[in-house]
A and B are shown apart, each in its own frame.
Chain A
Amino acid sequence: MFSLKLSQFRIPGFLLLFATTASSQSLDELQHRLSAQQARLSIALEAKQIADSMRLENSPVSTFKVGPISVMSAESQIEVVRSLVEEVWQDFEAVVGQPLPTFQFGFFFEKSGQSGEAIYMPPEGWMRLRVDPTDRNSSMREIRNAIGGQLTLSLPSELREFISNVPLPIERSPNWRKLYSTIVMTPSIAARDCYQGGNEACWAAVGASAEGFDWRTLYSTTDLQGLVRTRYQTSMARGPGWYGGNFEELRAKYDDCLNSHERGGCISLIDRRGRPVDTPFGFDIRADLFHVALEQGGRGAYRRALDADESDIKTILAAVSELDADVLMEEWRTNIIDERSSRSRNPLKSTALSGFWLGVFGLIAIRRGRWS
């Protein structure tokens, strides 16, 4: 069965493809196509090896489809594998809706009935998953990540970059404390204004402001000093021996930035470092914002994200959620602030538990004392 699938990658066909298109394509395009085909070939060979290894275990291999997913599995464990993938896919289907783009990827479960690995084949490259059919939860987690990763990879590039390729979750399950901490404690004017309720500041902090992303406008002088301190602390500590000839000049500029409250000096030092300043809110915040947009947009939201042809993230997210951009931002921010407030410290449970253990240890001390 597998050899049929592999036939499209056989070398003669490969060379034929190369020859027939050579006349009409530039050399760069041909090289690009060649390397893409090579990558597909190596994926297929790798998959063939896995299939062969399953055969060596005297376990015939079967292929079946779950939604848009092709699954290859040893026949001895086909029921387990099918139920795992079906269960995960049902959850995703309920969220992403239909119609979906065609996903050509398969799972190859190794070592029938035992803890093993699965080869997951996204369109580009391949990856191994730890899959143990006897440990249903961890297997489902791996498969969920693989499918979520694939769904993210299918998004337009602007959106993928915005969320740093975070796999699409079945349901939003943010780390409330971390998100809230980021909003409250990120040293940036935009972050502080965002917490106070400024929607435009929130868009600026995620790098999706209407004016475009200019980090120089998002940091106060004190914030800039913090950035400079972070970026130059190691160099300053190591001294001229490590840094080189113009250390003294740099040291003077560094001290000037930290002591004189001159924005220009700090900005030039940051520019000099070469490393670009990221948006105040990082990928976790940006990904969560996208997940809220999907949640708000309901079943057709993912399809709208796939179809987005705008380069402006703010417009894309508004289209995905079918809400006004500022309403979406307001929804996201109040959600995080309200959730965090409702999850603040409650020491009563801990006190009750401590009382219990105090009693237990007390009993041990009395019962096991020298005079018992």
Chain B
Amino acid sequence: MFKQILYAHWKASHLVLLPLTLAAFALPMYSASHFSVTDFDVSSGFFPALAIVAGFAMAATAWQWDQQGKQIYAMSLPIHGWEYALLRMAAGSVALMVPVAALWLGSSASAIAASPPAGVVAYPHSLSLRFLNASVVAYAGWFALFSGRQRHQLIFAGGVLAFFVLSTLLASTFGIVDLSQKLLEFLLSSPGPFEVFTGSWRLLDV
């Protein structure tokens, strides 16, 4: 069963996977060649962005055909709904390994080719593991969002937007604690889910 679902996911996502894989392979090279002596490195911001895009693409393609087919295929299978969702999620995770592997290859090659100054170290494996973690978390987050009905997705997105606008307005008008800032702090710092996107993403680093 998993093999068929994986094949179906591959059919749905291979066209998106190709540019993602190429970008994942090339990005470490770009980062190494733009290694800067300053503390701010623009290229390292591309890694988490790529992880988010890759996660989004895999999650969106995981549910694409089911949405087009009005879930008939899913419901015709002799398995429970939760089993089907789990298989779908696992298939997307496996497909996600393609850009992750490309990034590992690209960063390993860049690390070998680079000649950093003394005291600066290349981190190809650490960077690849970080990219794997980030893309898997992004994928799981998007997958959970897309697993609901479209109406629920819209309600969720609208709710989040309204929460941020309201809490910012209330904080600026009445001088109370900005809850949206608190929420962002939680999400982006340990043990929040998106902490993995922050911190150093440099291939060459001290």
Q: Is A11 an interface residue (CB 8 A)?
A: no
B144 partner, pick from A340, A344, A345, A368, beta carbons under 8 A: A368
Q: Is B195 within 8 A of A350, CB to CB?
A: yes
B196 partner, pick from A344, A350, A362, A370, beta carbons under 8 A: A350
Q: Is B19 an interface residue (CB 8 A)?
A: no
Given contacts A184-B120, A196-B118, A358-B137, whether A369 and B126 have CB atoms under 8 Å apart is no
Q: Is A350 within 8 A of B133, CB to CB?
A: yes
Which residues of chain B from 142 to 165 have any CB-CB distance to chain A below 8 Å in the complex? Answer: 143-144, 147-149, 152
A177 partner, pick from B71, B136, B206, beta carbons under 8 A: B206
User: Could you write out 10 A-B pairs with CB less than 8 Å apart?
Assistant: A184-B206, A185-B37, A337-B119, A344-B121, A361-B193, A365-B85, A365-B89, A368-B147, A371-B80, A372-B81
Q: A161-197 vs B: 1/0 string, CB under 8 Å?
A: 0000000000000000110110111110000100110
Q: Is A361 within 8 A of B141, CB to CB?
A: yes
A64, B195: Cα distance in complex, Å: 47
A360, B141: Cα distance in complex, Å: 9
A362, B71: Cα distance in complex, Å: 19
Q: How far is the CB of B164 from chain A (nearest CB, A)?
A: 21
Chain A residues with Cβ below 8 Å from B190 are: 349, 353
Given contacts A365-B85, A366-B85, whether A353 and B196 have CB atoms under 8 Å apart is yes
Q: Is A357 an interface residue (CB 8 A)?
A: yes
Give A370's nearest chain B residue, CB to CB.
B71
Q: B49-93 vs A: 1/0 string, CB under 8 Å?
A: 000000000000000000000010011000011101110010000
A364, B140: Cα distance in complex, Å: 9
Q: How far is the CB of B91 from chain A (nearest CB, A)?
A: 13
A370, B146: Cα distance in complex, Å: 10
Given pairs A184-B117, A185-B206, A368-B148, 9 additional interface contacts (CB within 8 A) = A181-B206, A185-B120, A192-B117, A195-B119, A340-B206, A350-B195, A357-B137, A361-B144, A371-B80
Q: Is A347 within 8 A of B144, CB to CB?
A: no
A184, B38: Cα distance in complex, Å: 11
Chain A residues with Cβ below 8 Å from B200 are: 345
Q: Is B118 within 8 A of A195, CB to CB?
A: yes
Which residues of chain B from 98 to 113 have any CB-CB distance to chain A below 8 Å in the complex? Answer: none
Q: Is B195 within 8 A of A192, CB to CB?
A: no
Given contacts A186-B37, A187-B37, A362-B144, whether A370 and B137 have CB atoms under 8 Å apart is no
A278, B148: Cα distance in complex, Å: 59
A356, B137: Cα distance in complex, Å: 9
A192, B89: Cα distance in complex, Å: 50
